[in-house]
Structure 1
């Protein structure tokens, strides 16, 4: 197999640069399903991982999805400097269990193929680990919930945004599992009700991909494109409780106006809280992270802030995660659920 290298420590940045047939070189322990599907959509030729694609600690699905789509997957965790040893656009060859530079046929590293049989064996281990993993996750969540409850129940400050939120629905889009399919399923609802469209980081690009211009982009600004930032009416950078706001520098370099919003928890939590505190009569979340697996894939060992936020906003929240499964033929939401979302407050 021959191909051009696209490499980086952040998988979603590698994905955005991929051309069909490229070989992605990443460092992604327990590849998640969303990352795998995006690699496949971009036409990746093979994936070389400088980490362990599936450890068996929990049921990360990315390796399985790549293998099911016949994408060659190799691990080489003992060679982390591969990401800097090769250059983007360089031609390489994968032959057997080895990676070679095409220009001089020199061997770069030995590769360990990931097989369906290995994945299945590790999955059984993950099943056995699940009760203990869940116990630790719950304990961590409850411990931090006790510490964070006061901050999370204090209303967020109101910002002088151009986008009006009060008295209208707010559609809050994150890059979680099924976000593309679920956003597509909501197309008719968006046309009918014109909710405030809030993209959480890369959720702004998700809206653009479906033909919708984001009203507000909120988050750390680490996974949203310049195009989406320039298209949004308002940009809200997540400010942390220690006073820092790392995402502000990027927006400033683009010459765009922005606001910093100090808020505890994740950027998804911030978006839900802001819409709630500023009078949105209905919150519809797409691609939200709300289960243990979602958080483990993000490297979080608990979900204290998300648990507390959902306790607070739950009376107005409709979680549209997996909505497209209810509309397998057209992929778009129709009555009676459209009517339900029009009238439910």
Structure 2
């Protein structure tokens, strides 16, 4: 079934598994592509070119990697020709309603995308210059927030000297959170969900401590489960999302700033004294900065990450470190096994004090070795 929309945010809310998304998005960004994959669409039709050549946009690569066909550049007329909710068929680069051909585009594949991304790197110079100018302007506007924490709301949830796990929206967040269960059990971090990232926390059976973002994108059950809700507001203090909070009858605080919700979550953790901030889904390399859907959010992301500094760690690093560690339970199991072996040896020896004394010596050696092992692997 075709789902047609010029406003991508509104279109994403209407998508269901098996739909064909028809949109108009020049330079298809990574976050939109991840949302399309998560929605379970079977094909994507873009009226605009998904890679215009201004910079290497990452969305097309994500769709093709997930096995979702992408037909590009069909023209804006298709948004009027294709009826929302109609049966649409995509064959190679041609769109059909029934047996009627309604649009023709260009079907992307891994090879065509790779070629276009190489060519698009030439457009990065102009984007970098614009990014530098926007960063300076943002610093002028939000310098008191970045330097002094002015405007950061007080929270009941304590983050002082604790780990904080921040989960952003995106495809595959629930799977990644399940892989982090061992870390969560051991360190008991404060759990912050950003927009639909809060839904991912609850889906992974983790209760969010704080939800940051537009309440309209967060499930009612998630908002009710959260210990605190922080609603972004403009510099004028206006917060459109408060109406939903009032409908649900729950409390919330506002955070007046021009930064995006992801960055506000990091600033909250920083201002409230978190010892370590682990991020799930944050992608902020050079390509991601230039690929962002909202270019105006890039300076806040760049400066916020500088502000948090070396306390900021990606979840992939946490997973890599935990793979090589031995858990307390494993050490305890080995210790019990060693005790059982010694007990059997003594019981079966049939000899008195000599073997008993030898067993005690061996036991003392084993206990000392395991104590040293546990200090080295668990501390």
TM-score (norm 2): 0.73
- Distance in 2, matches of 1:17 and 1:134, equals 35
**What residue is the counterpart of 1:225 in the other structure?**
219
**What residue is the counterpart of 1:92 in the other structure?**
88
| Alignment partner of 1:297 out of 292, 300, 306 | 292
Mapped pair 1:57 → 2:50: no
Question: How big is the shift at 1:117?
Answer: 4.5
Matched residue of 2:215: which SS?
coil
CA contact (8 A) 2:78 2:103 kept: no
Per-residue CA distance 1:105-153 (angstroms, 9 max, x = gap) = 5554344433445423322221222344334323432343244323422
Higher relative contact order (CA 8 A, sep 6+): 1
Question: How big is the shift at 1:46?
Answer: 1.3
TM-score (norm 1): 0.79
**What residue is the counterpart of 1:32 in the other structure?**
29
- Distance in 2, matches of 1:323 and 1:223, equals 29
CA contact (8 A) 1:149 1:308 kept: no
CA RMSD, aligned part only? 3.5
> Unaligned stretches of 5+ in structure 1?
none
Mapped pair 1:313 → 2:290: no
CA contact (8 A) 1:158 1:278 kept: no
**What residue is the counterpart of 2:325 in the other structure?**
335
Mapped pair 1:73 → 2:73: no
**What residue is the counterpart of 2:164 in the other structure?**
170
> Unaligned stretches of 5+ in structure 2?
329-374
**What residue is the counterpart of 2:207 in the other structure?**
213
Per-residue CA distance 1:25-68 (angstroms, 9 max, x = gap) = 23332223454345345542211123322212222222133334
Per-residue CA distance 1:136-190 (angstroms, 9 max, x = gap) = 3234323432443234223245656453333432211112687555534432111
Larger radius of gyration: 2
| Alignment partner of 1:242 out of 233, 236, 239 | 236
CA contact (8 A) 2:279 2:315 kept: yes
CA contact (8 A) 2:3 2:19 kept: yes
**What residue is the counterpart of 2:181 in the other structure?**
187
**What residue is the counterpart of 1:6 in the other structure?**
3
**What residue is the counterpart of 2:254 in the other structure?**
260
